[in-house]
Amino acid sequence: MKVENSVIPTQEQMAGFLAPGPEGPISMVNLLKFRDKASYEDGRESELTGAEAYAIYSKGVTKTLSKVGGEIIFSGEVNRLMLGEVEELWDSVAIAQYPSRAAMLEMMQLPEYQEIAVHRAAGLAGQLNIETTRSVVFETDK
């Protein structure tokens, strides 16, 4: 299995995201790998670590998520690999839930999202974004 972190989706991935897909809520599992030192595309000097730059983005994205009816449902640091094998572990995992793909796209186009996205790009060495929908296989009685 090949694993390749990225910060920007490929044209094929974006086309898949824009194509008709599951109706209703989606959850995005984010496997995050931070840069040692933040690197801003506009060349600004910064003493921030990648994790610190991403934390600025994270604080802002929580607000923009709520504007489209979404929320962060989990966030945590990666401690170790329990099963399987990868060359390098991710630093953090976050799960964001959206009412729909359209809501996620709407959020990404908000001016306030565009303003904070520079911190995401500066902080991330790469990530995997995995779109999921609720599965009845693991559904439990409450």
Query: How far is Cα 93 from Cα 116, in angstroms, rounded to an integer?
Result: 19
**Tell me, what's the pLDDT at 138?**
61
pLDDT tops 60 at residue 1: no
Nearest to 124 by CA among 59, 41, 67, 23: 41
With cut-offs at 50, 70 and 90, classify the pLDDT of residue 96.
very high
In a domain, 101, yes or no: yes
Segments forming the whole domain that contains residue 28: 22-133
CB distance 77 to 91 below 8 Å: yes
pLDDT tops 80 at residue 135: no
Total domains, the chain? 1
In a domain, 32, yes or no: yes
HSE-CB at 73 with a 13 A cutoff on CA atoms is 12
In a domain, 13, yes or no: no
**Tell me, what's the pLDDT at 20?**
72
pLDDT tops 90 at residue 7: no
b/e code 37-67 from CB counts within 10 Å (16+ = b): ebbeeeeeeeebebbbbbebbbebbeebbee
In a domain, 6, yes or no: no
Q: What is the mean pLDDT of the chain?
A: 89
* Residue 77 to residues 52, 87, 94, Cα–Cα distance (Å): 14, 18, 9
In a domain, 140, yes or no: no
In a domain, 11, yes or no: no
Nearest to 110 by CA among 54, 69, 48, 64: 64
Mean pLDDT, residues 24-28 taken together:
93
In a domain, 15, yes or no: no
CATH number at residue 43: 3.30.70.100
Is the pTM higher than 0.75? The answer reads yes
Which residues are within 8 A (CB) of 52 and not within 5 positions of it... i.e. 6 or more apart?
38, 123
| Residue range 32-82, pLDDT digits in tens | 999 999 999 998 999 999 999 999 999 999 999 999 999 999 999 999 989
Mean pLDDT, residues 103-112 taken together:
93
CA angle 66, 71, 75 (to 5 degrees): 140
Mean pLDDT, residues 113-119 taken together:
95
In a domain, 139, yes or no: no
